[in-house]
Amino acid sequence: MNENSMQFFLPDLNATHQWGQQLAQRLPLGTIILLQGDLGAGKTSLVQGLGRGLGIVGEIVSPTFTIVNEYREGKMPLYHLDLYRLNSLEVEYLYPEQYWQGEDFPLGITAVEWPERLPQLPNQYLQIELCHQGEGRAITLTAQDWAMDLKNLLLPS
Ligand SMILES: Nc1ncnc2c1ncn2[C@@H]1O[C@H](COP(=O)(O)OP(=O)(O)O)[C@@H](O)[C@H]1O
Ligand SMILES: [Mg+2]
């Protein structure tokens, strides 16, 4: 498996939003983002930034209780999943692949909180790991079997 990785420091919520916003502007259609980090690490905050970068104006709220939130008003659809409350059998019934296969749902960006619950990982994805560092967060972006250079992904557009 081909893997490359970059790390950044995000001092506050605003930095998380901006980082996500910048990333979203360059994401190819169909990108899957798996978000790792404890409760409160900033996973949902990062998806709020992605939403801004995709031009979604409505508020992005945590899907902890709804499991999946869909946003269609941006330049491509955003599917935001939070698998925290599910066990792996329930995740299998949810059939998360439907959000990135481009058949049942139009292709877009899929962001998954608690991807540890996925019975099977996608073939190709971006992994984002957030953890507390002082008052802020350390964020690690890793491309798993990804064709695109991460540096190009993070250039301002
Ligand atoms: N870079 C950051 N530095 C400090 N606090 C942050 C940062 N990013 C997000 N937060 C804060 O972390 C808290 C938890 O965020 P949330 O996105 O709900 O976490 P998660 O989805 O991982 O449980 C929020 O109060 C948010 O304001
Ligand atoms: Mg969350």
* 153 occurs within a structural domain: no
The pLDDT mean for the chain works out to 94
CB 157 within 8 A of CB 26: yes
* pLDDT of 157 strictly over 70: no
Pairing of strands 78-82, 3-10: unpaired
* 98 occurs within a structural domain: yes
* 37 occurs within a structural domain: yes
* 10 occurs within a structural domain: yes
Q: Which residues span the domain enclosing 35?
A: 3-146
Who lines ligand 1 at CB under 6 A?
Answer: 10, 12-13, 15-16, 37, 39-45, 62, 113, 135-137
* 100 occurs within a structural domain: yes
Which atom of ligand 1 is closest in space to residue 130's alpha carbon? 22
Res 117: pLDDT: 95
State the average pLDDT over residues 81-110.
96
Res 1: pLDDT: 55
* 136 occurs within a structural domain: yes
Cα distances from 76 to residues 51, 52, 144, in angstroms, run 10, 12, 22
* 154 occurs within a structural domain: no
**Which residue, 76, 46, 74, 86, is CA-closest to 62?**
46
Q: Which two tokens stand for residue 124?
A: 């190709």
- Span 98-152, pLDDT tens digits: 999 999 999 999 999 999 999 999 999 999 999 999 999 999 999 988 877 888 8
Residue to probe by mutation, ligand 1, list 9, 16, 46, 50, most atoms within 8 Å of CB: 16
What is the domain-level CATH number for residue 142?
3.40.50.300
Q: Which ligand is nearest to the CA of 66?
A: 2
**DSSP per-residue letters across 28-56:** PTT-EEEEE--TTSSHHHHHHHHHHHTT-
Q: How confident is the model at residue 154 (pLDDT cuts 50, 70, 90)?
A: confident
State the average pLDDT over residues 62-76.
95
* 157 occurs within a structural domain: no
**Which residue, 88, 84, 101, is CA-closest to 38?**
84
Distance 110 CA to ligand 2 centre (A): 14
Sheet holding 68-71, edge to edge: 3-10, 136-144, 125-133, 32-36, 109-113, 78-82, 68-71
Tally of domains in the chain:
1
> How far is residue 16's CA from residue 92's CA, in Å, rounded to a whole number?
31
Residue to probe by mutation, ligand 1, list 13, 48, 80, most atoms within 8 Å of CB: 13
Res 2: pLDDT: 66
